[in-house]
Structure 1
């Protein structure tokens, strides 16, 4: 399951442009456990939270189900 999630995340990252890339990088780092949501700059937090929720994840990067 994690492998599929990471593959989908990679495909999603490729499709992004501009400022969305920074949010996507933080999403990937949170999922990998290298950063926490608290480490995300304030201006990126809404986008990062929305992207995590779109992937079915909490702000901790874990499944919401």
Structure 2
């Protein structure tokens, strides 16, 4: 049976996502308008949505279904 290698993250998901988003935004700013830049901006929007969903899921106002 294979054992799964465990890795304890040193930073929170939000911190990692924010750092990655900043890096992608800087890369997109350096590119001229075109499909490659559009793809990076699309990934950036997806990360933004994921970040908002994570915030919503962690909010104290979220109640479990009855």
Asked if these proteins are the same fold (TM beyond 0.5), I'd say no
Q: Which of 1 and 2 has greater Rg?
A: 2
- TM bucket (normalised to shorter chain) is 0.3 to 0.5
